[in-house]
Structure 1
C-alpha cells in the first residue's frame, strides 16, 4: 500500500505506469490508509450517509468541508487548465444559443384566431384609496394596475396581455422551430380564479360552472368582462377581481366580486339587481360619478361574512357602486371606477375603498416598443409592492392608531379555504380513500358527496366526488344523501390526531368548525365507534412507527380564539384523557389495505405532525428548520475529516494533470 511519502514522490506519479491508471491507485491509497480516517470518523460518515443520503445533503457536507478546510479548487493547476481549455468553446456555445433563441422568438410566433366578440383586452392604470372613519380615522392611497379581458377570449394582445395561452415546457421547447404561442407580460391564468384549479375549462367555462352552483343559467349572461390584477413575471397578488356580466343586449346586468384575503382564502359574491332601494342598475350616475357622462352604474349591498381585514370583524355589510367601464354596449374603454363601503353591524360607516383611474385605459395592440418599455418601467413594479404596502398600513393601524386585531375565524361554507400544504395534500389523498372504504363497508343505502379543501383539481370531477354504498349502487331502497364539505385543509392534519372517527367528525363539525356536514344524523350509519383494529404488520419498521404514533397521539385542542387582541382567552381547567389511545381506524385501514409506498408516506406525515406538536409548537416548517439545524451541525463536525481527504484528492489529481 502506498503511504503518504509515495504520494508526494514525482516518480510515483510519473513512472512507467500510464497516468490514467495511477489515479485510482492513489485514491485507493488514501481511502485504505488506516491512519487517515479514525473509527469514529468512519462511523460518523456512515451515520450521516444513512440519515442524509440525498444529493443536496452530500453537497452540503462537501461545501462545509471546503469552507472549513480551505480546499483550494481554483488556484491554477488542475482547475486553471480546465478553465482555459473550456473558456472558448463554452463562450461560443452560449453566444450561438442566444442568437438561436432570438431567431426562434422572432420567426416562430404562432398565429392566433381573431376575437370576434365584444370588448378587447385593456390595461387600466389606477389608484386605490382607503378612508377609515371608525373607530379611528386613517386614510391612504397608492398606484394599482389592473388588466381587463373579455371572458372567452384566448390569446396575446400586443405581447402585453395574455390569457389561455399554453406554452411548451421541457428542454425540447428551447430548440423547436415549430410555431409556438407566447404569454404576455401580464398573464391571466384561469386556474387562479373562482373555484381553484381546472384551468382547462378557461375563464368562460369556470364562470359558467360557478353560475350553475348559484342556481343561475349561464345563458342569461352571454358576455362577460374580467378586471383583475394579472400575473407579472409569474408573481400574483390579487385582493379583488371584478367580473362584469352582460345580457344579450350588451348592457351590464350583474357582477361578481371575487375577494381574496391575505390568508389565501377566497369568497365570491354574485351581485344581481333586486327590487329594493339598495340594489339597482341605473342609467345615470350621482355623487362621486357626477363628472362622468351618463353611463350604466350598478349599486348593490350584501351582508359581510368573510374575514378580509384583521381590523374588522366578520359582521356588518358591504355596498358597491360600480361604473360600467365598457358602456355603451361593451364598446367603451373606461374609465374604471368602483366604490365599496363597509358598514358595521351597528350601522356605523367604517371604511370607504375606491378604485379610480390614474390615466386613460391603454390598448396594448396599439403600443409601440418604446411605449411598452416605458409602461413596464412605470408600472411593472407596482404588483410586487402591493402586499408590502398593505403590511405597512396595517402596522400603522396597529401601532399608531391602536386598533384591536380580530383573529381569523375558520371560513364558512360559502368561502374557499386556503391552499393545502404538502402534508395536508398527502393526508387528504389517504382520507379520501379511507372515506371510500367506509362508504363501501356500509350496509345502508348511502350516497356521500365529498368536497375537499385546499386542492387545485385538474378536472371538475375531482373537486367533488360522490361515493355510493353497495346497497345504494344496487338500488335497494331509498338512497339517503349526505354531503361532507371540508372547509379548511387543517381538518386533515387534525383528523389523524383522533383515535375515534365519530368523535373526530362531531368535534371538528361543532367545536372547531373545520368541516360542514349536511346531515350529521347519517354519520353513524357508516362511521361507527369500532373496536381497536387488528394491527396487521408487514415489517418491523411498520411496528416501530405505528407504536410511536400510538404513544404520541393526543386529542387536538379545540380551535378557540379570543375575538380580538384585547379579549382574554377563557382559561379552562386542565383535563386528562384517561382513554387508551390505540391506533385509529384510519391507521388500521392503512396497514391493512394500502401498498407499502402509501404506508410509508402516511406514517411519515403523521409522525411529523405529532413530533411537531411535541417539540416545534405544532409548526411543521419549524420542525423542518430544527432538522436542518441538526444536519448542518452534524455536517460541520464531520467536515474537517472530509476536507482533509478532499484536499488530498485534489492534490493527486492536480499533480497528475501537471505531469
Structure 2
C-alpha cells in the first residue's frame, strides 16, 4: 500500500511512504508456514503490560521462527492477553455501548509485526452487518509516542451501485483443504462509503489535538479496491472552521498476494522489498520534521497528555507496581466518607480497559442524593509522580490543572469529574485514621522502612503515600512500595530521573564488583599454590573460580538479609 500525505496549510508539504498491509478475516487463527502467523498460541511475541520489551530466548526464537506475525494484544485497547481478534473486537464494541451482534462479520487491515518490529500508523477494522454490507469502520490511530485512539465510525453510502447478482446455491468457497474456513464475499450497495469523526489525538508535532476528519472508503473485499492507484481510502483533516489542513490518500501499490501460493524466492523478495521501506519510514519522518522545524516554516509543539478515551503509551513496571497503592488509597478514603458516593476509577488505559466502582458505606442504589464521581489518570507516569507530593490535596490540585500545551491547552494528567467532591473525600479521610491496605497477618511496628525512606528523601517528613503504604500490614506490599520508591529516588538523584540510565549504572557496578572479586581470588589462589601446594595453572584457575562462586553466593545472601532487615521482613531460609 502507498500512503501519500499532503499538507495544505499553513505550509505546503508532501510525504509518501510504502507499507506491507495484511488483510485478515476477524476470528481467524492460523499459520502460513514460516511466512505469517495470526494469533498463533505457540508463539510468544508480546509482553504483558508493565514488562517492557522483556526479551527471553523463547520470544527471540518465536520472532525468528516466522517472518510476519499478528498478535491481538497489540490491537485496540490494551490489557486483554490470550484472546483472539474477534474477542478483542467484541470487548471494544461493548465498551462503546454497542452490541457486537450488529456486525457478525469483520475484516482488519494492518501492518504486520516483522521479527518483533512494527510501525503501524493506522489499523482499519471493517464491520459488516448481517447482509454483509459495510456498515461501520474502526480506525485505530497510532502516533510516534506509542499512544493510540480507537474511533468507531458509522459510514453512509456515497454513490449507489447496481445490486450484485444473488449467489448460486451451493457455491461455497473455502480457504483450506479440510473446508473448515469458509470464504464469504461482501455485498456492497455503494461504490464508496463516507464517515466523519473527531481526531482528539496528538498525531503530529505540527498539529493540534482537535480536528475534524472526513473519510471516504472502498469496501476492501471488492476487486475494484485493489486495482492500481484505486482510491482505497481518502482522509481529509480539517480545522473546526472547515479549512482543509491535510489530506491522506491510500492506494494499492501492487496486486494482492496469496500467502499459500508463494515460493521461497517470492518470500525473500517480499521481505526485502516491503519491510525495508517500513523500517526506514521513522528516520525519514524524523528528518522531514526536523527540516520543517529548523527552516522556521512551522513550530513544533510539545506532546500533551492524552484525552479521555485515548490510550496512553505502554506502562512501565514501576508504574504498574505503584498503581494498586493509589487504587487502595481511593478505596480507603471512600470508606471513611460519611455521605453516599459512588466513585468510578478508570485506571490508566495504558494497561487495562477495566472500570473499578467504589462505594461509600452509606451508599444506597435507590438513594437520589447519591453523588457520583469519576477519576481517570491519563498519563501512566502519574503513579510515579504521586508518591512525591507531600499531601493528597496538593497532589490532586496539581495533577488536575490544565497543562497549557499549545497543542491542547485543556489537557490534564488526571481527569476528575467533580474536583470539589474528591477534595472533600480526601479531607474527610485525612481527619480520620485510614484503614491499612492489603489486609494480612499483622507484623510488629518497624521503624527501619520509615528511616530508610526519610534518608533517601533528604528530609524527616514522609509523603502521604509513604505513610499510607507503610501502614500496610502486608509485608510484601511494603516491600514493593519501598523498592519502587527507592528506585525512583535513586534515579532522580543519580541518573537524571532515567530508570534506563540507572539500570546501566547498576549493571556496570555489578560487573566491576565481580571483576574485582574474581581478580582478588585468582591472585590469592596463585599465591597459595606457589607457596605450598605447587598446583599447575588449571588447578589454580579452578580454585579461584570455585572461591568466586562461593563468595558471590555469600554476597547475595548478605544482600537479601540486609534488604529483609531494612524492610522489616522475615528472611526465608532454605
TM-score (normalizing by structure 2) = 0.73
2:452 to 539, 545, 563: 545
Q: Is the aligned partner of 1:139 residue 2:14?
A: yes
1:485 to 373, 376, 379: 376
Aligned to 1:300: 195
Aligned to 2:289: 394
Give the whole-Å Cα distance in 2 for the aligned partners of 1:142 and 1:168: 30
The verdict on how the C-alpha distance between 1:626 and 1:224 changes in structure 2, with shifts beyond 3 A counting, is: same
Structure (1 or 2) with the larger CA radius of gyration: 1
**Which has the higher mean CA deviation after the structures are superposed, 614-623 or 633-642?**
633-642
Q: CA deviation at 1:476?
A: 8.0
**Structure 1, residues 148-169: CA drift from partner, whole Å, max 9, x if none?**
1011222224653332221177
Give the whole-Å Cα distance in 2 for the aligned partners of 1:258 and 1:488: 19
Q: Is the aligned partner of 1:526 residue 2:425?
A: yes
1:193 to 75, 97, 115: 75
Query: Higher helix fraction: Structure 1 or Structure 2?
Result: 1
Give the whole-Å Cα distance in 2 for the aligned partners of 1:252 and 1:649: 83
**Which has the higher mean CA deviation after the structures are superposed, 519-528 or 417-426?**
519-528
Give the whole-Å Cα distance in 2 for the aligned partners of 1:371 and 1:251: 34
Q: Is the aligned partner of 1:155 residue 2:30?
A: yes
Give the whole-Å Cα distance in 2 for the aligned partners of 1:133 and 1:648: 78
**Does the aligned pair in 1 maintain the 2:226–2:252 contact within 8 Å?**
no
**Local SS of the residue matching 1:412:** coil
Aligned to 2:559: none
**Does the aligned pair in 2 maintain the 1:136–1:401 contact within 8 Å?**
no
Q: CA deviation at 1:267?
A: 0.8
1:376 to 262, 271, 276: 271
Aligned to 2:560: none
Aligned to 2:108: 226
Q: CA deviation at 1:503?
A: 2.8
**Structure 1, residues 193-243: CA drift from partner, whole Å, max 9, x if none?**
111121334222222222233233222222111111111222222111111
Q: CA deviation at 1:505?
A: 1.9
TM-score (normalizing by structure 1) = 0.64
Q: Is the aligned partner of 1:423 residue 2:318?
A: yes
The verdict on how the C-alpha distance between 1:644 and 1:256 changes in structure 2, with shifts beyond 3 A counting, is: same
2:472 to 582, 585, 593: 593
The verdict on how the C-alpha distance between 1:425 and 1:653 changes in structure 2, with shifts beyond 3 A counting, is: farther
Give the whole-Å Cα distance in 2 for the aligned partners of 1:427 and 1:258: 29
Structure 2, unaligned runs of 5 or more:
46-56, 162-187, 404-411, 437-442, 542-574
Give the whole-Å Cα distance in 2 for the aligned partners of 1:129 and 1:650: 74
The verdict on how the C-alpha distance between 1:345 and 1:446 changes in structure 2, with shifts beyond 3 A counting, is: closer
Aligned to 1:575: none
The verdict on how the C-alpha distance between 1:341 and 1:599 changes in structure 2, with shifts beyond 3 A counting, is: same
**Structure 1, residues 539-595: CA drift from partner, whole Å, max 9, x if none?**
35313223235545xxxxxxxxxxxxxxxxxxxxxxxxxxxx843333222112242
Aligned to 1:270: 152
Q: CA deviation at 1:256?
A: 1.2
Give the whole-Å Cα distance in 2 for the aligned partners of 1:246 and 1:348: 32
- Superposition RMSD on alpha carbons, in Å? 3.8
The verdict on how the C-alpha distance between 1:161 and 1:634 changes in structure 2, with shifts beyond 3 A counting, is: closer
**Counterparts of residues 253-652 of structure 1 (less than 5 Å):** 253-273=135-155, 280-283=157-160, 296-327=191-222, 337-345=232-240, 347-400=242-295, 402-453=297-348, 455-457=350-352, 463-472=354-363, 479-512=370-403, 513-528=412-427, 530=430, 538-548=445-455, 551=458, 582-626=461-505, 641=520, 644-645=523-524, 652=535
Q: CA deviation at 1:640?
A: 5.7
**Local SS of the residue matching 1:389:** helix
**Does the aligned pair in 2 maintain the 1:163–1:183 contact within 8 Å?**
no
The verdict on how the C-alpha distance between 1:657 and 1:589 changes in structure 2, with shifts beyond 3 A counting, is: closer
Structure 1, unaligned runs of 5 or more:
1-125, 175-179, 275-279, 285-292, 553-580
**Local SS of the residue matching 1:282:** coil
**Does the aligned pair in 1 maintain the 2:18–2:278 contact within 8 Å?**
no
